[in-house]
Structure 1
Amino acid sequence: METRDDAVPGGMRIDWDVPIRMDDGAVLRADVFRPAADGRHPVIMTHGPYAKGLAFQEGYPGMWAPLAAKYPDATAGSSNRYQNWETVDPEKWVPEGYVCVRVDSRGAGRSPGLLDLLSPRETQDYYACVEWAGTQPWSNGKVGLLGISYYAMNQWQVAALRPPHLAAICPWEGAADLYREFARHGGILNTFTSVWFPVQVASVQHGVGERGARSPRTGEPVAGPGTLSDAERAARRTDTPAEMLSRPLDDDWYRDRSPELEKIDVPVLSAVNWAHHLHTRGGFEGYARAGSAAKWLEVHGNEHFAEFYTDYGVALQKRFFGHFLKGEDTGWHRQPPVLLNVRHVDGTFEGRPEQEWPLARTRWTELDLHLDSRSLSEKALTREERADFAATGEGLTLTTEPFPEETEITGPAAARLHVASTTTDADLFLTLRVLDPEGVDVTFVSGLDPAGVIGMGWLRASHRATDPGRSLPYRPWHPHDRVEPLTPGTAVPLDIEIWPTSVVVPAGHRLALTVTGRDFELPGSGPWPQVHGVPMKGHGIFLHNDPVDRPTEVFGGTTTLLSGPDHPSHLLLPYVPRVPRPPV
């Protein structure tokens, strides 16, 4: 079915539910938004499970309202009639000569079949969709991929398969390692998937039909046609949360759903949020490991759903795709390899071009853990110290002295801790915080939490083995391929990755490291904002509280930190000299 929207400058044709046949006979459905004038145009594509016909405003009102209120430029210049969660607005792309294609992945929305998220079959389908789009009469043969979160994660996947008509990708805030970034932080189950899956995926699985939402544009069920029973739909999907719970080690199931980044050869713009506990690490790893000769990194802050839609984000995207899909002189040849929006404690950002990541001028600094004084210091500890804490309690917080001058911390961080437990295992949660001169937390807008911290690292002690061939001083690599239980009371060294961060700490403020055996929570009694019914207390909805994964008899003991000449424990930080630079 085709409709037209002549209110869009130049006019727009919309083909609803276009069939795309897969090699096994399955048919996926796509909505195609294209210029009214005949011709061949570059394609911007997404493919995923969130239902192409579900209006952003109706499906995600809790995100749409703050986006429209706080970032008015994100919704300006468009009627917003075709807005869809985490995909581009056709009204901002079609008038500039692009075709926008949204595909419901197999088993989702209007596409029947087995719903198996991020599976090899789903990635093969995406490959077929790219090739279909690259050979249509309205296509110039160049397909670009652009979307957030899931629509970024699967870009990494399909790009590694090298579809011939894929010309460029822009994964905006997307994980690249299903085990380490999405399912299990440091080997600890992230319960996000069990919250997200029923609300955002199963709710729009193909077959929800008449019991679900309707497209405000076509009037058709966004997850139809046809209405299946709960039992029928359950039989037609993989239970992703259950799979992740049942698979504590990084096995073939995870590896089949994680891309071989080194095989990517198309131009890449990896856009990263400093504070998203699913996606931050993947954006940096994707940039570093992608085999592409032409690749760029951009890092920003604010809410997960903000900069993708703002004038800043859209302009960056158009400069990138205009260069690689249309051959236009957008100035992209002058784009620095790395563009950082460095965070300040007042909520502002300092845009700064760089030539590499991590920054070559980084002054890597080890701060010893002085446990008796609860302090962090470059001064080496000369005697042995130890401190105990209840694994389910508030943990230990160690702080620097007030910084004598403005200090920038930008880059990946890490810690080496010597740890013992009264049980056979322990989960370690490391939280980096900024404290003002009165000792009060300075909080930062993060991906999904309006009051987040500046850095986080996790590790299950029984997963402490590292791979020397893949580890870096600032990014230890854990294979997560075996369990090595602790001997109660015996200390072991743990190398813990802390995801990349950035903050300029003013003079008089302090940096704090909090070590806990459970998810950190900001001090105070709330009230806390909620997403999907989960109170956000500093880490959004990215929690690690599944009782099956973390039984109390194993993870509810007493944890001991040791530090000193025989048990060197330290925090490694990326201090960056403050050099005034012209704005970007």
Structure 2
Amino acid sequence: MNAKILRLWAATMVLGLAACGDGSDAPAPVGDGGGAKWFTYERAEAYPGVAQISGLKITMADGIELSASVALPADASGNTVEQPFPVILTQTGYNKSVPAIPASNDYLVKRGYAHLSVDVRGTGLSQGQWEAFGETEQADYLAVIDWASKQTWSNGTVGTWGASFMAITQLYTAAHQHPAHKAVFAIVPMADGYRDIVFTGGQTNIGFIPLWMGLVTALGVLPVEPDPAAPVTILEHLTSALLNFQVPVIAQSAIGVGGYNYDGPFWRTRSPIEQADRIRIPTFIVGGLNDIFQRGEPLLYEAISRNTTTKLLIGPWQHLDGSQGAGLPANDVPDLDRIALMWFDQYLRGMDVGAAAVPNVTQYYYGAERYATTTGWPHPQARAERWYLRGDRSLSREAPGTDEAGNVVLQQPLNGICSTSTSQWTAGILGLVPLPCFDSNNLNENPLFEVAFTTDAMAEDYVVNGPIQADLHISTTALDAGVLVRVTEVSPDGTSRELTNGILTASLRQVDAARSRYLDGQMIQPWHPFTEASREDVGMNTVVHLPVEVFPSSFVIKEGYRLRVTVGASDFPHGLPPLVDLVDQLVGAMTVYSDAAHPSSIVVPAVPLSALPQD
């Protein structure tokens, strides 16, 4: 979701928003990028002006017309330069005409690119019904890029650019393999519609989904650009939202009917990772350590890099800041506009500017508070290390003894209502409110609701990079349970900062071992089917094993700091079980076991400190 429009919305909701730092005082970059290094690529403006041509219509095979506009290089008087240019295509669901959320990039246009912006079907001023990356919409992407490649202002080569929704459309477009499509620059894209965001751990994401669908709907009824068909189009959008897609999907998901609460064809269609193996053009992916698509961004890189030149940049971002690459340049990493210019000059213009030579993977490390580079993801030097949740609430490399006690937390659905997670899953909007609970997890670590297991102070820096798995042994006095696992860093003054987390509904614990990830023979990223057929009863007071996927991260627990794992029964609004599941876990007591027969633990991908050269 574009940062500017969300900041505009946030400003109407909250007061006293703080500006983000620019990162200019950060230390130098570290890491082994296989000898590859970042550099700042710049090319002066070739044209002083930008001319906007609106009111374009692109007719689809079924007769539906999509609304489009194109920004073209212009002279100082605003006159269009009449020649063909390489094209940058952005397909958006956020109404290309809304000034606060531009779907074109003047920085690129002034350097000799035409930028075509298109409202996808059922959004903005485009006709039809919106169904969020459905099959018909995906077919439109192919028709649009074909149209773009044949216009008089196009030289027949097309690249795609944009954030969030506009990044997701790029991946589907690339999977069509149109010969004109030469490069992708996807900023904070989704990989798996079910697991990344909508039903993480089998629970409805109450924080983001109503906000997102509401945003698309609201922007779709703003007739910013003059269009005689606007009244009819807007009425069609509202009718579809109420009767066809947005309201019915949200309502049925929250209740747990209609099948939306289980993974299946509906969500597979809306998961770009399912088509990633068809992407064969150079692809640049930008992600965030606490983005709403935190889980999927490195998975997209991993899948696409098997077939083409692919780069991954992950910053210290939630969705708002990740959409604009906040804080860049930093640690020799340029800002996103300059990276995009380098990417498109290389792959659309055919200029040898060194784009392929920049590091394959660049990640920010919490704790070290800087970027580091490496040759791939997961980190090639990562090794599985297991930490045990002990009965005395310590976190230890030593397995528990026979008689260690379990720890009990109360089941209630609103735990974590003010946390880093709350800010993350509202795309960073609520995090703009200056509340300490968005930066510190201490408030949530009330042992009645979230029990904390903590290491001794680290004797030296401890580096983690990649996906994490918690193996919990629990029982409940209810019929089912939700489980939250947070990983935090504890400073010497006792402040607990959340780094990453994972949630899971206990009855959806079944794992597909063949699709899960292993490191050193240990499962480190479980893959849950999340189908109705995969449900397994929990039973009252019965001990069950839960493999919980904790989303990937990169961090350093500094010398003198401590690593903490907290376990609770909910993480609102990140996850709220559908009503049909909530009634089975609404009230109860959950025991987390820590004995030799039931050794609850967490396995992390530890990276040798030597892999991160020190300043």
Q: Structure 1 length normalisation: TM-score?
A: 0.81
d(CA) in 2 for partners of 1:583, 1:331: 27
Question: Is 1:242 aligned with 2:251?
Answer: yes
- Is it true that 1:287 corresponds to 2:301 in the alignment? yes
Q: What does residue 29 of structure 2 align with?
A: none
> Is the CA contact 1:271–1:283 (under 8 Å) kept in the aligned structure 2?
yes
CA distance in 2, matches of 1:196, 1:546: 18
Within 5 Å, which residues of 2 pair with 1:64-463? 84=102, 87-88=103-104, 90-197=105-212, 199-205=214-220, 208=221, 212=222, 215=224, 228=235, 231=239, 234-235=242-243, 237-239=245-247, 240-245=249-254, 246=257, 247-259=260-272, 260=274, 261-276=276-291, 278-290=292-304, 291-306=306-321, 308-309=323-324, 312-344=335-367, 348-349=369-370, 351-371=371-391, 373-385=392-404, 386-392=406-412, 393-442=448-497, 453-463=498-508
> What SS class does the counterpart of residue 416 from structure 1 fall into?
strand
Deviation at 1:100, TM superposition (A): 1.1
- AA aligned to 2:542 is T
Identify if the C-alpha distance between structure 1 residues 193 and 118 changes in structure 2 by more than 3 Å, giving closer, same or farther. Answer: farther
Deviation by residue 1:453-491 (Cα, 9 ceiling, x = unmatched): 211111111111111111112211111122112121111
Q: Say if 2:570 is the partner of 1:518.
A: yes
**Structure 1 residue 491 corresponds to structure 2 residue 499:** no
Residue 77 of structure 2: aligned partner: none
The alpha-carbon deviation at position 546 of structure 1 amounts to 5.9
Structure 1 residue 494: Cα displacement: 1.1
Match of 1:18 in 2: 56
Name the CA distance, whole Å, in 2 between partners of 1:301 and 1:279: 13
How far apart are residue 219 of structure 1 and its match? 6.0
Corresponding residue number in structure 2 for 1:475: 525
Deviation at 1:279, TM superposition (A): 0.6
> Residues 109 and 222 of structure 1 are in contact (CA less than 8 Å); yes or no, is this contact kept in structure 2?
no
| Contact 2:458 2:559 (C-alpha < 8 Å) held by counterparts | yes
Listed one character per residue, the Cα deviations across residues 526-562 of structure 1 (whole Å, up to 9, x for unaligned) are xxxxxxxxxxxxxxxx522366255244242111111
Cα separation, 1, equivalents of 2:252 and 2:175? 24
Q: Which residue of 1 aligns with 2:89?
A: 45
| Larger RCO (CA within 8 A; separation ≥ 6) | 2
SS at match of 1:96: coil
* TM-superposed deviation, 1:504: 2.0
Shift, 1:330, TM fit: 1.9
When the two chains are superposed, the root-mean-square deviation of aligned CA atoms in Å is 2.6
**What aligned pairs does 1:548-559 form with structure 2 within 5 A after superposition?**
548=579, 550-559=581-590
Q: Which amino acid aligns with 2:408?
A: D
- Distance apart, 1:331 and its partner CA: 1.4
C-alpha displacement of 1:308: 4.5
What displacement does 1:363 show? 3.1
Q: Which amino acid aligns with 1:367?
A: W
> What SS class does the counterpart of residue 192 from structure 1 fall into?
coil
Which residues of structure 1 form unaligned runs of 5+? 1-6, 57-82, 443-452, 521-541
Q: Which protein is richer in helix relative to its size? A: 2
Q: Which residue of 2 aligns with 1:576?
A: 607
**Deviation larger for 475-484 or 241-250:** 241-250
Following superposition, the deviation at residue 201 of structure 1 comes to: 1.2
User: Letter of the aligned partner of 1:254 in structure 2?
Assistant: W
**Is the CA contact (8 Å cut-off) linking 1:517 and 1:555 kept in structure 2?**
no
Counterpart in the other structure of 2:14: none
Q: Which residue of 2 aligns with 1:531?
A: none
CA contact (8 A) 2:201 2:503 kept: yes
Count of aligned residue pairs for this structure pair? 505
8 Å Cα contact 2:363-2:372 kept in structure 1: yes
Say whether the 8 Å CA contact 2:462–2:557 is kept in structure 1.
Answer: yes
| CA distance, structure 1, for counterparts of residue 359 and residue 270 of structure 2 | 31
Matched-pair contact (CA < 8 Å) for 2:47–2:112: no
Counterparts of 1:17 and 1:409 in 2: how far apart (Å)? 51
Structure 2 length-normalised TM: 0.77
SS at 2:186 equivalent: strand
Q: Does the CA contact (< 8 Å) of 1:418 and 1:491 recur in 2?
A: yes
Measure the CA separation in 2 of the matches of 1:581 and 1:173: 25
For the 8 Å contact 2:164–2:323, the answer to whether it is kept is: no
Evaluate the alpha carbon distance shift between residue 11 and residue 582 of structure 1 in structure 2; reply closer, same or farther with a 3 A threshold: farther
CA deviation after TM superposition for structure 1 residue 498, in Å: 0.8
Q: Distance in 2 between matches of 1:464 and 1:354?
A: 33
Deviation at 1:92, TM superposition (A): 0.6
| 121-130 vs 334-343, which moves further | 334-343
Residues 580 and 488 (structure 1 numbering): CA distance in 2 closer, same or farther, change over 3 Å? closer
Provide the rounded CA distance (Å) in 2 between the counterparts of 1:166 and 1:189.
Answer: 36
| CA drift at 1:577 | 2.0
Residue deviations 1:231-281, cap 9 Å, x none?
5762464533235333221021111222322222222112110111x2111
Q: Hey, what does 2:37 align to over in structure 1?
A: none
